[in-house]
């Protein structure tokens, strides 16, 4: 099990590094800036040790050291500037990767379609797109450059120390491996703590969003106080898990600082005994001078600093790996739709054909559709009726491409849906649901989603045809009226008429209508029916409904029973017509 986890961690780490793409140049610039800062550090140590040595043992005056001090100041300035450049370039790489990854995740969710999104908790998806993608920042901006610098900077320092004292080099080489060793030991526990932390955050986000969306229902049943306590308990649990992660991070830093201090102390003891004459090895043919000792002692903390910083940022790596696992799961999620075709539809009015379709949801053993067959001729309006849960909405999702059947084939004008260009097919379809979503913005913005290039005259004509102008004209700001959260400032009938206005504005040849008059009062229903009659004229239409009045719009009536489609006979049609009258 541990071997599998390590292998998975290695794959995830390689996947994270593969995200860099064009941002590699910024990581390389960050590494180059870090190397330059290391060189400036060596120069700074040399100048400082020389200045002190000349002052104490050669009696140099301040005026004689001006050149050294100016060079020392320049080295400090250059080192500071390179540190700023290193941090800036690392952040450029991180921002680029995170922006591209979020766009990729959003595109993936669009590919998976509404069927997948509805099966997930919105709060968890939001947490994935925000917090978990954000958790990659430390890995890209700091850990990756530091991983290279942790191998390069110590070698640079050793290259300058070796000509002075080989014993110091041996001390450095003997003690340096202790830091990454204990870093890995502590980091393993940190990785598991981060995984638990992200799972708790995703659950808390999902639960909190569910409570906010259902707050009205909770108030009606006097359960809001109880939910408040549950959220408080979950938040406290998340706080505890977060503190566990921080405790491991501080433990890691403390361990690394301890071993670095021990290593520096060993070098200081060696130099002290050498000055006392008790040790006479290490130098190349001469005794250790004050310049040598100062130079080595100044460089000693800096030799371990890249390793200590790597240990600090190793926590960022474990956090990124824990976050990346869920991101990879989403990107690897099996698509519901069989897209990717390049064929386009002819200009003529399309027809729809579903042949021997079988479909079942993963959580339901019984198939929703079984050997389902249905054909809608060009320009024909077919009403599909049946009890709730019979699978009517599933048929629309299959036609829209949000789901794909396990068996059977869907053809649009003799072309298999799987071979059609996804974008071309979406341009040919107008979808009117019983639960229309309005987005923040104005009425105009919501209508322009159907046709971004539409003019004001076209928008006004679409509203007139959908009987939406009746209430839009009564609003003080008209089409520029702001839409509340999910259309809260409009009635169900008004929202449905805006949905029909979208369909008129899109002017697509295929209409998919899902209970367009559900939950409407009689007056609103009559207005929507009149608009629907105009909308369906000359278009290939599949209409799902329970309402007898809506069935009058159809040329044919089909009944969905036990997963199969049966065309209604004359007796049933007559019975429905009598119900309407």
CATH number of the structural domain spanning residue 244:
1.20.1560.10
Nearest to 302 by CA among 178, 153, 177, 174: 153
Domain presence at residue 314: no
Contact assessment for residue 500 and residue 450, using Cβ atoms and an 8 Å cutoff: no
Q: How many CA atoms lie within 13 A of 274 on its CB side?
A: 20
What DSSP designation does 419 have? G
Q: Around Cβ 362, how many Cβ atoms within 10 Å? A: 6
What percent of the chain is modeled with pLDDT above 90?
Answer: 10
436 and 500 assigned to the same domain: yes
Query: Would you place residue 2 in the very low, low, confident or very high pLDDT band (cuts 50, 70, 90)?
Result: very low
pLDDT digits (tens, 9 = 90+) for 512-566: 888 877 766 777 778 778 888 888 888 898 988 877 778 888 888 888 877 778 7
Domain presence at residue 342: no
pLDDT digits (tens, 9 = 90+) for 126-137: 778 888 888 888
Domain residues for 417?
352-579
- Domain end residue (candidates: 258, 287, 316): 287
Residue 323 in this model has a pLDDT that exceeds 70? yes
428 and 527 assigned to the same domain: yes
Identify the pLDDT of residue 74: 93
Domain presence at residue 309: no
96 and 191 assigned to the same domain: no
359 and 412 assigned to the same domain: yes
465 and 437 assigned to the same domain: yes
Q: How far is CA 508 from CA 541, 554, 572, in A?
A: 11, 18, 31
Residue 171 in this model has a pLDDT that exceeds 50? yes
Contact assessment for residue 413 and residue 346, using Cβ atoms and an 8 Å cutoff: yes
Question: What Rg do the C-alpha atoms of the chain give, in angstroms?
Answer: 35
Domain presence at residue 323: no
439 and 543 assigned to the same domain: yes
Identify the pLDDT of residue 94: 92
Identify the pLDDT of residue 221: 66
CATH of residue 511's domain is: 3.40.50.300
431 and 462 assigned to the same domain: yes
84 and 126 assigned to the same domain: yes
196 and 117 assigned to the same domain: no
- Domain end residue (candidates: 116, 131, 164): 164
Q: Around Cβ 184, how many Cβ atoms within 10 Å? A: 12
Domain presence at residue 265: yes
527 and 545 assigned to the same domain: yes
Beta-strand pair 381-385/564-567? unpaired
416: β partners: 411
* Tally of structural domains, the chain: 3
- Domain end residue (candidates: 235, 255, 287): 287
149 and 190 assigned to the same domain: no
416 and 516 assigned to the same domain: yes
Tell whether pTM > 0.75.
no
Residue 252 in this model has a pLDDT that exceeds 70? no
Domain presence at residue 295: no
Domain presence at residue 347: no
Identify the pLDDT of residue 40: 93
Domain presence at residue 345: no
Identify the pLDDT of residue 573: 61
């Amino acid at each position: 099990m541990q071997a599998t986890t390590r292998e998975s961690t290695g794959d995830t780490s390689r996947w994270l590094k593969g995200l860099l793409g064009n941002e590699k140049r910024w990581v390389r610039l960050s590494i180059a800036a870090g190397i330059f800062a290391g060189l400036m550090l060596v120069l700074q140590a040399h100048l400082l040790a020389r200045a002190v040595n000349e002052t104490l043992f050669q009696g140099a005056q301040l005026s004689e050291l001006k050149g050294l001090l100016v060079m020392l100041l320049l080295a400090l300035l250059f080192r500071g500037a390179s540190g700023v450049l290193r941090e800036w370039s690392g952040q450029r790489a991180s921002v680029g990767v995170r922006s591209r990854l979020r766009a990729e995740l959003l595109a993936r969710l669009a590919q998976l379609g509404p069927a997948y999104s509805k099966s997930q908790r919105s709060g968890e998806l939001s947490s994935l797109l925000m917090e978990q993608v954000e958790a990659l920042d430390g890995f890209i901006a700091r850990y990756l450059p530091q991983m290279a610098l942790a191998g390069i900077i110590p070698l640079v320092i050793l290259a300058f120390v070796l000509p002075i004292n080989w014993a110091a080099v041996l001390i450095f080489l003997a003690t340096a491996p202790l830091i990454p060793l204990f870093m890995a030991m502590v980091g393993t526990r940190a990785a598991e703590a981060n995984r638990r932390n992200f799972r708790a955050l995703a659950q808390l986000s999902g639960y909190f969003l569910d409570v906010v969306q259902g707050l009205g229902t909770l108030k009606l049943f006097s359960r809001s106080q109880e939910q408040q306590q549950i959220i408080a308990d979950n938040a406290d649990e998340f706080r505890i898990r977060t503190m566990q992660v921080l405790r491991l991070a501080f433990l890691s830093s403390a361990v690394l600082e301890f071993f670095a201090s021990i290593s520096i102390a060993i070098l200081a003891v060696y130099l002290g005994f050498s000055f006392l004459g008790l040790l006479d090895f290490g130098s190349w043919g001469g005794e250790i001078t004050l310049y040598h000792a100062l130079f080595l002692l100044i460089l000693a903390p800096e030799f371990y600093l890249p390793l200590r910083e790597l240990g600090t940022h190793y926590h960022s790596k474990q956090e990124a790996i824990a976050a990346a696992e869920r991101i990879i799961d989403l990107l690897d999620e099996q698509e519901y739709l069989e897209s990717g075709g390049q064929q386009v539809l002819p200009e003529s009015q399309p027809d729809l054909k579903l042949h021997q379709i079988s479909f079942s949801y993963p959580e339901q053993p019984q198939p929703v559709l079984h050997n389902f067959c249905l054909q809608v001729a060009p320009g024909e309006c077919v009403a599909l009726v049946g009890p709730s849960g019979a699978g009517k909405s599933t048929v629309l999702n299959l036609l829209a491409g949000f789901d794909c059947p396990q068996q059977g084939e869907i053809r649009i004008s003799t072309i298999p849906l799987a071979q059609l260009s996804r974008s071309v097919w979406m341009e040919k379809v107008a979808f009117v649901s019983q639960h229309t979503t309005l987005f923040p913005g104005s009425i105009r913005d919501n209508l322009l989603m159907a046709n971004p290039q539409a003019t004001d005259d076209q928008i006004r004509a679409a509203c007139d045809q959908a009987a939406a102008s009746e209430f839009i004209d009564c609003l003080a700001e008209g089409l520029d009226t702001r839409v509340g959260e999910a259309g809260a400032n409009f009635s169900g009938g008004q929202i449905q008429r805006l949905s029909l206005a979208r369909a008129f504005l899109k002017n697509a040849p295929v209409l998919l209508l899902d209970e367009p008059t559900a939950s409407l009062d009689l007056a609103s229903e009559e207005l929507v029916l009149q608009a629907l009659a105009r909308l369906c004229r000359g278009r290939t239409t599949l209409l799902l409904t329970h309402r007898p009045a809506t069935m009058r719009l159809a040329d044919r009536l089909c009944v969905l029973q036990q997963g199969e489609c049966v065309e209604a006979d004359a007796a049933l049609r007559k019975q429905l017509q009598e119900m309407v009258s």
